[in-house]
Amino acid sequence: YYLSRIHLFRFRIVPDGNCLFRAASQAVFGSQNQHRHMREVTVRHLAENIVDFLPFFEPPSANDDILDFAFAEIERLKTDHC
């Protein structure tokens, strides 16, 4: 009830491991069908601007190279979970 009063709506997001990209697709395109496209665009943006996003990556050990870790995480994000 509260959300409708402020003109917001809840959408059921398919719980298949792609929920972040499905939610972004729903917000941008009005459909979850473009979640693969959202994943590709997001991963490309992260990889092309890695230095800007380094503060958001935390390697498991202080001895690990943060850049290697960040690129490994970005590579992991490429995997579609469908």
CA atoms 10, 11, 16, 21: torsion sign: negative
Look at residue 25 in the predicted model and tell me its pLDDT: 97
pTM attached to this predicted model? 0.80
Look at residue 82 in the predicted model and tell me its pLDDT: 66
Rounded to whole angstroms, the Cα distance separating 15 from 23 reads: 10
Look at residue 27 in the predicted model and tell me its pLDDT: 93
Look at residue 26 in the predicted model and tell me its pLDDT: 95
pLDDT digits (tens, 9 = 90+) for 71-82: 999 999 998 876
Rounded to whole angstroms, the Cα distance separating 77 from 15 reads: 16
pLDDT < 50: residue spans in the chain: none
Rounded to whole angstroms, the Cα distance separating 24 from 43 reads: 13
